Amino acid sequence: MSDRYNLLQNWLTDTLNSSTFNLRPASEDASFRTYHRLFLKNKTFIVMDAPPEQEDCKSFIKITKKLHACNVNVPVIHNVNIEQGFLLLGDLGDNLYLNELNNNTIYELYSDAVNSLIAIQNLANVGGLDAYDGNLLRSEMNLFTEWLVEKHLQIKLDESQKKVLDKLFNLLVTNAEQQPKVFVHRDFHSRNLMVAKENNPGIIDYQDAVYGPISYDLVSILKDCYIKWPKEEIDKWVDFYLNKRHEEKSKLKINHDEFVRWFDLMGVQRHLKASGIFARLSHRDGKDNFLENIPRTLSYILDLKEVYKELRPICIMIEELVIPKLEEKE
């Protein structure tokens, strides 16, 4: 066993005043964090191991408090060791939305997810959150270029192709900046939502939350990189969200057609970023299983080729340059 695992066990023994617990791997995370499920007597807990040189526990703790104040279902923090990067958390279970979503469950699960999202957007204290600004948005989109195109596919872009991306990135940053700003979970999707018997869903992996565009989290769950629904289904849930917003007589007035454009273009930003992250997870972290999500993720961008003329150049680049190289690697 590693020195860090021994350190974790020693901390748990001291914290619980017991050594009769069992630890098992709980989940794989797209970061340096690891999670264990702890069994003690008839109870279970989640143990987060977040190496302090790579992960910031303070952010997780701060944002957990913000979300608890919204009455949404996030883990209870039982004990913390900031210096070592260990947290003992309540267990929200292991039943991911991804495992349960189908045509029979989608209404109940997405209704609950959208309602929780609106509660967070309406109630969460955004004080102290980093801004989801142009610099951060661009750095995320550059992951597509650096890790998917150049590193994974070994494609060297010419000047005209670089200009296509520059123009696109400017468009997508402007689109994000035009939107009302709210609390943004930043990874609100089916692998970070747990099916819960009470106060569904359980919400995890929110430590990178920011203050940013209102459409971001909605597009994360409805145009999910891990599961895809027909356009008609996605449109129905966008309308569900907007109708809920209208019913609550919010001061936030949102035009339907304008929001759909925000939503679609925000999705392009997210899917460029995510495809780059999946490539990085493979090359940097040895997590090759994430590569299988890249075609689905890029397909959301291609779906918009005939909807927005501004997106045709990137769609052509993906179709003619990226997809063939991906297929060669299969």
Alpha carbons 45 and 104: distance in angstroms, whole number: 31
Instruction: Report the C-alpha dihedral over residues 84, 289, 172, 182, rounded to 10 degrees.
Output: -40
1 pLDDT more than 60: no
- Best CA proximity match to 270, nearest among 244, 296, 288: 296
On average, the pLDDT of the chain sits at 94
pLDDT tens per residue across span 293-305: 999 999 999 999 9
Confidence label for 246 from pLDDT (cuts 50, 70 and 90) = confident
Q: How many whole angstroms separate alpha carbon 266 and alpha carbon 238?
A: 13
Q: How far apart are CA 49 and CA 28, in angstroms?
A: 12
Q: Which amino acid is at 263?
A: F
Cβ atoms of 300 and 315 closer than 8 Å = no
End-to-end, the C-alpha distance of the chain in Å comes to: 35
Structure tokens belonging to residue 143:
């992951």
Residues 218/238, Cβ–Cβ less than 8 Å: yes
Contact 206, 67 (CB under 8 A): yes
Measured at the CA of 187, the angle between CA 157 and CA 132, to 5 degrees, comes to 70
Strands 77-81 and 202-203: unpaired
Place of tokens 């007035």: 253
Domain boundaries, the chain: 3-90, 97-329
User: For domain 3-90, which architecture applies?
Assistant: 2-Layer Sandwich (3.30)
Determine the pLDDT at residue 248. 78
The predicted pLDDT at position 32 comes to: 76
Q: State residue 118's pLDDT score.
A: 96
When pLDDT is cut at 50, 70 and 90, the band that residue 329 belongs to is: confident
Distance between CA atoms of residues 329 and 261, nearest Å: 34
Question: Which pLDDT score, from 0 to 100, does residue 330 have?
Answer: 78
For residue 249, pLDDT beyond 80: no
The strand pairing partners of 203, in sequence order, are: 193
Query: Which pLDDT score is estimated for 250?
Result: 67
Strand-by-strand arrangement of the 77-81 sheet: 22-27, 34-40, 43-49, 86-90, 77-81
The dihedrals phi and psi of 101, each to the nearest 5 degrees, come to -70, 125
Model confidence pLDDT, tens digit, residues 64-89: 999 999 999 999 999 999 999 999 99
What is the band of 106 on the pLDDT scale with cuts at 50, 70, 90? very high
Looking at the whole model, is its pTM more than 0.85?
yes
- Over pLDDT 90: what percentage of the chain? 85
Instruction: Give backbone dihedrals phi and psi of 261, rounded to 5 degrees, phi first.
Output: -65, -45
Please tell me whether residue 39 adopts helix, strand or coil conformation. strand
Give the pLDDT confidence of 16-70 residue by residue, as tens digits. Answer: 988 889 999 887 655 678 899 999 988 999 999 988 888 888 889 999 999 999 9
Token pair belonging to 231: 């356009």
| Assigned token pair, 228 | 């895809």
pLDDT band at 277 (very low <50, low <70, confident <90, very high): very high
Q: What is the pLDDT of residues 195-207, one digit of tens each?
A: 999 999 999 999 9
Pairwise CA distance, residues 279 & 291, whole Å: 6
Question: Which of helix, strand or coil describes residue 180?
Answer: coil
Instruction: Report the alpha-carbon distance of residue 67 to residue 1 in Å, rounded.
Output: 35
Q: Which of 238, 200, 232 is nearest to 220 (CA)?
A: 238
Q: What phi, psi does 327 have (nearest 5°)?
A: -65, -30
Q: What is the pLDDT of residue 56?
A: 82
Mean local confidence (pLDDT), 133-157? 98
**DSSP class of 200:** S
Residue 53 pLDDT: 86
Please give the class, per CATH, of domain 97-329.
Answer: alpha beta
Task: State mean pLDDT over 281-285.
Answer: 95
Instruction: Output the pLDDT for position 300.
Output: 98
